[in-house]
C-alpha cells in the first residue's frame, strides 16, 4: 500500500490539481472534489482494490475472470496509462529543467514572465528533458529496481511535504499593491477555499464537476487498472478500507496544500485573469515567482522543491509504465525487457509530439467539452475526460448489476472488517455513480451542456 501511495502522489497532486483548481474558480472546485472523494472516490477505490485481491490478477485478466462479457473494461483500463505516460514524461521533463535552473542559481530569471513560454516554445530543449525523464523511468522498469527508488523516495516524501507546508504558509504573506488594486495572501486563501456561487450557471457547475471528477480519478489512480494491480498484491488479511482511507486522505492532503501554495500567489500577483489563463503551465509560472519573493532562501527552497517534485513524479511515472509493461508482457507473452523497450519507444514518439505541440505543431484545437488545447490537453482529455469515465461506468455496471455489490463487499470484509456505509456503497455503485458518470461523459463529448 505504500507503493500505491507513492504511485498516487505525483504530478497529479503538485501540477494538475493546482491548475484545475485555479481554472475552475478555487473554492467551488475544492468543495466538489471533497464531495466526490468521500462518496464515489472511496467507493471506486475499495471496488478496484477488492477486484484485484479477489481475482489476484492484473486488469487485462481480472475483469474477464469476474465476468467473461466484461473483459473489455480491462483493455480500456490499460489504454489510459498508455496515453498518460507520454505527457506525464513531458511534464516530468519540465520539472527536471526547473531542477537545473534552480540548482544553477537562476531563480530570478525563472521568475520573469515569458521564461516558461520561452522554454516550451523552443524545439530541442523540452524534447531532451522529456527524453531524459522517460529514459530514467525506462531504466528503473527495465532493470526492475523499483524497490530501491521507492525506498529513496520514501525518505524524500516527508521532506517534500515539509517544503510544501512551508511554502504554502509563506504564500499567505505575499502582498500586491499597484496603487489602484491591493491583494493579500489572505484574499487569495479566501478565493482558494470559499466557493463562489455568484452568477454560476448549471453549465459552469457541470464543467467544474467534470474537471473535479477527472482529477480525482487521475490523482487516486483509479480507472486505469493500477489499483487492481496493487490489489492483487494486497495480503488477504489486510484491511482494504483502512488502506484506502489512508491513500485517499494523504493524497488529498498533499493536493490541497500544493493548490494553496500555487493558487494563492497567482491570485495575489496576477488576479483572477492570472488564474483563468494559467492552464498546464501554472506550477512553472507561479512557483518561481513565489521563490523569487523569498529572496536568497528562495533559490535553495526552490531547488529542493523541484528536486523532490521530480522524485515524486518519477515514482508515479514508473508505476504508469509498469502498468503498461505488465499488460504487454501478459498479452503478447514477451519478456519484461522487450516490453519496456517497446513501450518506451512508443512513449518517446508520442511524447515528442506532445513537446512539439508547443512549437512546431502548435494548434488551438477546440475540444468537445468546450475547452481549447494543444496535444497535451488532447491526450489528457481523451484519457481523463473519455476513457476513465467509460472504465468506471463499466466497473459500476459490472459490480452493481452483472455481479452483485455483495461480491465486492464480501471480499473487502472477509476478515470481519466492519463496513457501516454498506447501504451507501450499494446505492452508489448501482445508481448514483453510473448515472452521474454517464451525464459527465455525455457532457465531455459535447452531447449535452
Ligand atoms: N496518480 C498519479 C499522480 O497523481 O500523479 C498519476 C498516476 C500514477 C497515474 C499511476 C496513473 C498511474 F497508473
The CATH number given to whatever domain includes residue 6 is 1.20.1740.10
Percent of the chain scoring above 90 in pLDDT: 83
Distance, in Å, from the CA atom of 52 to the CA atom of 64, rounded to the nearest integer, reads 12
Using the mean position of ligand 1's atoms as its centre, give its distance from the Cα of residue 206 in Å.
24
Using the mean position of ligand 1's atoms as its centre, give its distance from the Cα of residue 219 in Å.
6
Q: State mean pLDDT over 228-252.
A: 93
Q: State mean pLDDT over 402-415.
A: 97
Q: Classify residue 297 by burial, with Cβ atoms within 10 Å: 0-12, 13-18, 19+.
A: exposed
Q: Whose CA is nearest to atom 4 of ligand 1?
A: 12
pLDDT at 7: 79
Q: State mean pLDDT over 239-250.
A: 93
Residue bearing cell 507503493: 3
Q: Range of 309's domain? A: 2-444
Residues 134 and 366: beta-carbon distance below 8 Å: no
Beta bridge partners of 372: 366
Model confidence pLDDT, tens digit, residues 300-329: 999 999 999 999 999 999 999 999 999 999
Question: For the chain, how big is the Rg over CA atoms in Å?
Answer: 21
Q: State mean pLDDT over 271-288.
A: 90
Is residue 2 pLDDT above 70, yes or no? no
Degrees (nearest 5) of the Cα angle 129, 84, 97?
A: 20
Asked whether the CA dihedral 276, 116, 17, 175 is positive or negative, the reply is negative
Give CA torsion, residues 369, 375, 377, 380, to 10 deg: 100
| 8-state DSSP, 195 | -
Query: Where residue 342 falls among pLDDT bands split at 50, 70, 90?
Result: very high
Q: Relative to the CA of 10, which ligand 1 atom is closest?
A: 5
Contacts of 337 (CB under 8 A, 6+ apart): 142
Average per-residue pLDDT for the chain = 93
Residue 329, in any domain of the structure: yes
Report the domain count for the chain: 1
Greater confidence (369 vs 286) lies with 286
Tell me, using a 6 A CB cutoff, whether residue 7 lines ligand 1: yes
pTM of the model: 0.94
Model confidence pLDDT, tens digit, residues 148-177: 877 887 788 889 899 999 999 999 999 999
Residue bearing cell 472546485: 29
Is residue 383 pLDDT above 90, yes or no? yes
Model confidence pLDDT, tens digit, residues 357-373: 999 999 999 999 888 99
Residue 449, in any domain of the structure: no
Which residue, among 376, 371, 373, 379, has the nearest Cα to 356 in the 3D structure?
376
Which residue, among 123, 133, 46, 48, has the nearest Cα to 85 in the 3D structure?
133
Asked whether the CA dihedral 103, 104, 107, 113 is positive or negative, the reply is negative
Using the mean position of ligand 1's atoms as its centre, give its distance from the Cα of residue 82 in Å.
12
Query: Where residue 279 falls among pLDDT bands split at 50, 70, 90?
Result: confident
Using the mean position of ligand 1's atoms as its centre, give its distance from the Cα of residue 421 in Å.
27
Using the mean position of ligand 1's atoms as its centre, give its distance from the Cα of residue 357 in Å.
22
Contacts of 169 (CB under 8 A, 6+ apart): none
Greater confidence (256 vs 145) lies with 256
Q: State mean pLDDT over 345-355.
A: 98
- Tell me how crowded residue 161 is: count the other CB atoms within 10 A of its CB: 16
- C-alpha cell recorded at residue 166: 512551508
Tell me, using a 6 A CB cutoff, whether residue 24 lines ligand 1: no
Using the mean position of ligand 1's atoms as its centre, give its distance from the Cα of residue 416 in Å.
31
Query: Where residue 4 falls among pLDDT bands split at 50, 70, 90?
Result: confident
Residue 246, in any domain of the structure: yes
Is residue 227 pLDDT above 70, yes or no? yes
Q: Give Cα 131 distance to the centre of its chain.
A: 21
Q: Relative to the CA of 17, which ligand 1 atom is closest?
A: 4
Q: Whose CA is nearest to atom 13 of ligand 1?
A: 320
For a mutational test of ligand 1's pocket, the pick from 80, 316, 387, i.e. the residue with the most ligand atoms closer than 8 A to its C-beta, is 316
Distance, in Å, from the CA atom of 42 to the CA atom of 240, rounded to the nearest integer, reads 11
pLDDT at 1: 64
- C-alpha cell recorded at residue 60: 487485462
Amino acid at each position: 500500500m505504500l507503493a500505491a501511495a507513492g504511485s498516487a502522489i505525483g504530478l497529479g497532486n503538485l501540477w494538475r490539481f493546482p491548475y484545475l483548481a485555479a481554472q475552475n474558480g478555487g473554492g467551488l472546485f475544492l468543495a466538489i472534489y471533497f464531495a466526490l472523494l468521500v462518496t464515489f472516490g472511496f467507493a471506486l477505490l475499495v471496488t478496484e482494490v477488492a477486484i484485484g485481491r479477489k481475482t489476484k490478477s492484473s486488469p487485462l485478466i481480472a475483469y474477464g475472470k469476474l465476468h467473461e462479457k466484461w473483459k473489455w473494461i480491462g483493455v480500456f483500463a490499460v489504454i489510459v496509462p498508455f496515453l498518460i505516460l507520454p505527457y506525464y514524461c513531458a511534464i516530468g521533463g519540465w520539472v527536471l529543467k526547473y531542477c537545473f535552473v534552480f540548482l544553477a542559481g537562476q531563480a530570478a530569471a525563472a521568475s520573469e514572465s515569458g521564461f516558461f513560454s520561452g522554454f516550451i516554445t523552443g524545439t530541442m530543449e523540452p524534447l531532451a528533458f522529456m527524453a531524459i525523464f522517460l529514459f530514467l523511468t525506462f531504466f528503473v522498469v527495465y532493470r526492475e529496481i523499483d524497490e530501491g527508488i521507492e525506498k529513496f523516495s520514501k525518505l524524500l516524501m516527508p521532506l517534500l511535504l515539509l517544503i510544501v507546508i512551508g511554502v504554502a504558509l509563506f504564500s499567505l504573506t505575499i502582498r500586491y499593491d499597484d496603487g489602484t488594486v491591493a491583494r493579500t495572501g489572505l484574499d487569495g486563501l479566501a478565493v482558494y477555499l470559499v466557493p463562489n456561487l455568484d452568477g454560476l450557471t448549471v453549465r459552469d457547475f457541470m464543467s467544474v464537476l467534470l474537471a473535479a471528477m477527472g482529477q480525482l480519478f487521475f490523482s487516486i489512480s483509479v480507472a486505469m487498472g493500477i489499483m487492481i494491480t496493487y490489489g492483487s498484491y494486497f495480503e488477504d488479511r489486510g484491511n482494504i478500507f483502512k488502506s484506502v482511507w489512508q491513500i485517499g486522505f494523504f493524497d488529498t492532503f498533499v493536493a490541497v496544500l500544493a493548490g494553496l501554495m500555487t493558487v494563492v500567489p497567482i491570485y495575489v500577483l496576477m488576479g483572477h485573469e492570472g488564474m483563468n489563463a494559467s492552464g498546464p503551465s501554472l506550477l512553472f509560472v507561479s512557483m518561481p515567482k513565489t521563490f523569487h519573493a523569498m529572496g536568497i532562501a528562495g533559490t535553495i527552497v526552490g531547488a529542493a522543491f523541484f528536486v523532490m517534485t521530480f522524485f515524486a513524479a518519477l515514482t508515479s511515472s514508473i508505476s504508469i509504465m509498469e502498468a503498461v509493461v505488465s499488460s504487454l508482457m501478459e498479452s503478447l507473452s514477451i519478456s519484461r525487457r522487450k516490453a519496456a523497450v517497446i513501450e518506451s519507444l512508443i512513449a518517446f514518439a508520442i511524447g515528442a509530439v506532445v513537446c512539439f505541440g508547443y512549437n512546431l505543431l502548435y494548434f488551438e484545437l477546440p475540444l468537445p467539452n468546450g475547452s481549447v488545447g494543444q496535444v497535451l490537453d488532447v491526450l489528457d482529455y481523451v484519457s481523463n475526460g473519455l476513457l476513465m469515465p467509460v472504465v468506471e461506468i463499466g466497473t459500476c455496471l459490472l459490480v452493481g448489476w452483472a455481479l452483485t455489490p455483495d461480491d465486492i463487499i464480501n471480499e473487502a470484509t472477509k476478515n470481519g472488517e466492519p463496513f457501516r456505509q454498506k447501504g451507501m456503497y450499494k446505492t452508489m455503485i448501482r445508481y448514483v455513480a453510473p448515472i452521474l458518470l454517464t451525464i459527465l461523459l455525455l457532457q465531455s463529448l459535447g452531447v449535452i451542456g
